[in-house]
């Protein structure tokens, strides 16, 4: 009976994560629709391909080193211990090709325990974290549309998606991460781990890249460049909401026996846990996901005076700002945080735009960067004194630990991206030429398309004669 129960639990866990991966892919359908809707007609194809091609690039690099970074670096290394051995995350290990090796605990580098667990779950765990990675990279894409070179974005996407974010996840999201152990850092649904780091990277990219031609008047006043298709933007954002629901589920572990955790979980009943292995439920996070989304949309409608772009974007910001503590908040807390933080972010967006001439085409820095940063900071105060982990000896959640963690997340995205963008800019590899930007980055593609249509039309007319 026990053997069958364990097998059923493993199969259920495999299926659970597989479903979340499919749901999270909707985030990227939404990002593509959203960016095409925001960009002007002359830039659609390049905008679409710039974002879409981040998927295979991050996937391949995440396979070769991103997955290993998550398991190898929870101690820093050198802060709370050394480098951790993670054979199941090494690209050459049989456990990374489970369909080829089968359950074979006798194979070199495969222990019986590893074989029993990772044979069925490695691919779906990897897939869920990969979708987190692609999401983190894609957040930057919308903010730089219509003037950034695709190749420059892809370099930054790999840097963020397969190195930087997964490093901060190892520090602040891994159940043994040094930030959780020593600082009491708590960020259960990735306000900082995904969104603050992506917002910091987007801000660095934008500073080096500069605004779109015509965004600012000669006196420095910003011009509004409205979305070309509000319907596409709306559908894209609702797909992102749906995908983020799957993202939330993927941040949970569906079934764990208390006996397997040598911490504070007691009793016989198996439980779902958050990413830190502390008990939570899908019911709790569903309450808080919807309440924070609703708080953000209502606040967005009020402060933007009914602007649909900002109403929906602030709904997303509401989710992000409450995500750090949505495993522990009361639903009304989630709603209030989801309303107040986005209102501040909205004001910050326009202040930064006017004061520093930053042209963020989709408000990604405000929605993800400021929203994620403030969400982590607020969680430090609201959850002050709560356990950050079920394990004994870990620091409790506190304002200083979460504030330091939020700064670290934002800076970890900002500094490396700024350096890489400066290097690319010095080599004229960051921004398209002025002529290309004014004609539209699709000009050459459109010209070839129209020439093909004309040639085909001429040939068909000749056949009629």
pLDDT tens digits, 35-72: 999 999 899 999 999 999 999 999 999 999 999 999 99
Spatial contact of 231 and 397, defined as CB atoms under 8 Å apart: no
Confidence of residue 84 (pLDDT cuts 50, 70, 90): very high
Distance CA 125, CA 305 (A): 42
Instruction: Give the model's pLDDT for residue 216.
Output: 96
Task: Tell me phi and psi for residue 330, to 5 degrees.
Answer: -75, 150
Q: 263 pLDDT exceeds 70? A: no
Whether the predicted pLDDT of 1 surpasses 60 = no
Mean of the pLDDT values across residues 212-238? Answer: 93
Q: Which residues pair with 222 in a beta bridge?
A: 216
- Percent pLDDT > 90 in the chain is 77
- The one-character DSSP state at 212 is P
Q: Quick check: 101 pLDDT over 60?
A: no
Please tell me the distance from the alpha carbon of residue 159 to that of residue 163, in angstroms, as a whole number: 5
Confidence of residue 303 (pLDDT cuts 50, 70, 90): very high
CA distance 185 to 194: 14
Q: What pLDDT, on the 0 to 100 scale, is given for residue 104?
A: 61
Mean pLDDT lowest among 11-25, 271-285, 319-333: 271-285
Residue 19 makes CB contacts below 8 A (sequence gap 6+) with 246, 249
DSSP class per residue in 319-383: HHHHHTTTTTS-HHHHHHHHHHHHHHHHHHHHHHHHHH----TT-HIIIIIIHHHHHHHHHHHHT
Give the pLDDT confidence score for residue 110 in this predicted structure: 67
Give the span between the Cα atoms of 314 and 340, in whole angstroms: 10
Residue 438 has pLDDT above 70, yes or no: yes
Do 163 and 136 touch, CB atoms closer than 8 A?
A: no
Interval 415-434 mean pLDDT: 97
For the chain, what is the radius of gyration of the CA atoms? 23
Residues of the chain with pLDDT > 70, as a percent, come to: 95
Which pLDDT score, from 0 to 100, does residue 92 have?
87
Q: For residue 97, which phi and psi values (nearest 5 degrees)?
A: -140, 60
Q: Is cis: bond before 353, omega within 30 of 0? A: no
**pLDDT tier at 99, thresholds 50, 70, 90:** low
Q: How crowded is the C-beta side of 390, counted as CA atoms within 13 Å? A: 21
HSE-up of 103 (CA within 13 Å, CB side)?
9
Q: What is the pLDDT of residue 95?
A: 82
User: What is the rounded CA–CA span in Å between residue 196 and residue 12?
Assistant: 32
Closest by CA position to 158, among listed 177, 179, 145, 141: 141
pTM to 2 decimals?
0.93
Pairwise CA distance, residues 226 & 169, whole Å = 36
What pLDDT sits at residue 169? Answer: 97
107, pLDDT greater than 70: no
pLDDT the model gives residue 166: 97
CA distance 229 to 192: 31
Q: Is pLDDT at 105 greater than 60 in this prediction?
A: no
DSSP per-residue codes, 255-272: EE-GGG--SS--SS--EE
pLDDT score, position 332: 97
427: exposed, middle or buried (Cβ count in 10 Å: 0-12, 13-18, 19+): exposed
| Res. 115 pLDDT band, cuts 50 70 90 | confident
Give the strands of the sheet with 271-273, arranged side by side.
253-256, 271-273, 279-280
Q: What is the pLDDT of residue 109?
A: 62
**Contact in structure between 359 and 353 (CB atoms under 8 Å):** yes
Nearest Cα neighbor of 114 from 131, 134, 98 is 98
Q: What is the mean pLDDT of the chain?
A: 92
Whether 195 has a pLDDT exceeding 60, the answer reads yes
Is residue 403 within 8 Å of 377, Cβ to Cβ? yes
Residue 116 has pLDDT above 80, yes or no: no
**pLDDT per residue over 135-175, tens digit each?**
999 999 999 999 999 999 999 999 999 999 999 999 999 99
pLDDT of 103 strictly over 90: no
pLDDT band (50, 70, 90) for residue 390: confident
Task: Tell me: pLDDT of 118 over 90.
Answer: no
The pLDDT value given to residue 269: 76
C-beta of residue 332 within 8 angstroms of C-beta of residue 289: no
pLDDT at 100 (0 to 100): 57
- The DSSP bridge pattern shows strands 253-256 and 271-273 to be antiparallel
């Amino acid at each position: 009976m026990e053997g069958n129960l364990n097998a059923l639990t493993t199969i259920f866990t495999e299926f659970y994560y597989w479903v979340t991966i499919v749901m999270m892919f909707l985030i990227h359908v939404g990002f593509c629709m959203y960016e095409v809707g925001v960009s002007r007609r002359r830039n659609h194809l390049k905008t679409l391909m710039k974002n879409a091609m981040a998927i295979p690039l991050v996937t391949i690099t995440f396979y070769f080193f991103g997955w290993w970074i998550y398991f190898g670096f929870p101690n820093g290394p050198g802060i709370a211990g050394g480098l951790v051995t993670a054979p199941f995350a090494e690209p050459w290990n049989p456990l990374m090709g489970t369909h080829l090796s089968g359950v074979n605990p006798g194979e070199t580098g495969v222990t019986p325990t590893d074989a029993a667990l990772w044979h069925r779950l490695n691919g779906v765990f990897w897939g869920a974290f990969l979708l987190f990675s692609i999401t983190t990279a894609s957040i930057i894409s919308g903010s730089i549309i219509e003037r950034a070179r695709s190749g420059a974005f892809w370099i930054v996407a790999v840097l963020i998606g397969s190195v930087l974010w997964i490093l901060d996840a190892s520090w602040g999201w891994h159940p043994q991460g040094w930030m959780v152990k020593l600082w009491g850092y708590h960020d259960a649904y990735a306000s900082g781990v995904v969104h603050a780091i992506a917002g910091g990277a987007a801000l660095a990219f934008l500073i080096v890249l500069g605004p779109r031609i015509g965004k600012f008047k000669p006196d420095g006043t910003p011009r509004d460049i409205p979305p070309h298709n509000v319907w596409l933007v709306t559908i894209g954002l609702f797909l992102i909401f749906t995908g983020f629901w799957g993202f939330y589920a993927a941040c949970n572990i569906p079934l764990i026996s208390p006996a397997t955790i040598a911490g504070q979980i007691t009793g016989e009943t198996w439980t779902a846990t958050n990413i830190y292995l502390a008990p939570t439920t899908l019911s709790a996070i569903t309450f808080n996901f919807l309440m924070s989304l609703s708080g953000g949309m209502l606040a967005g409608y009020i402060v933007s005076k009914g602007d649909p772009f900002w109403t929906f974007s602030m709904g997303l910001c509401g989710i992000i700002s409450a995500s750090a503590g949505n495993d522990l908040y009361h639903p009304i807390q989630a709603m209030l945080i989801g309303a107040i933080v986005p209102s501040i972010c909205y004001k910050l967006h326009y202040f930064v735009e006017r004061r520093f001439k930053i042209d963020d085409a989709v408000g990604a820095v405000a929605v993800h960067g400021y929203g994620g940063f403030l969400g982590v900071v607020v969680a430090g105060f609201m959850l002050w004194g709560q356990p950050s982990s079920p394990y004994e000896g870990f620091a409790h959640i506190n304002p200083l630990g979460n504030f330091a963690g939020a700064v670290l997340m934002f800076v970890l995205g900002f500094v490396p991206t700024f350096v890489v963008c400066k290097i690319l800019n010095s080599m004229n590899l960051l921004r398209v030429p002025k002529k290309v930007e004014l004609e539209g980055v699709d000009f050459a593609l459109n010209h070839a398309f129209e020439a093909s249509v004309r040639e085909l039309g001429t040939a068909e007319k000749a056949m009629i004669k």
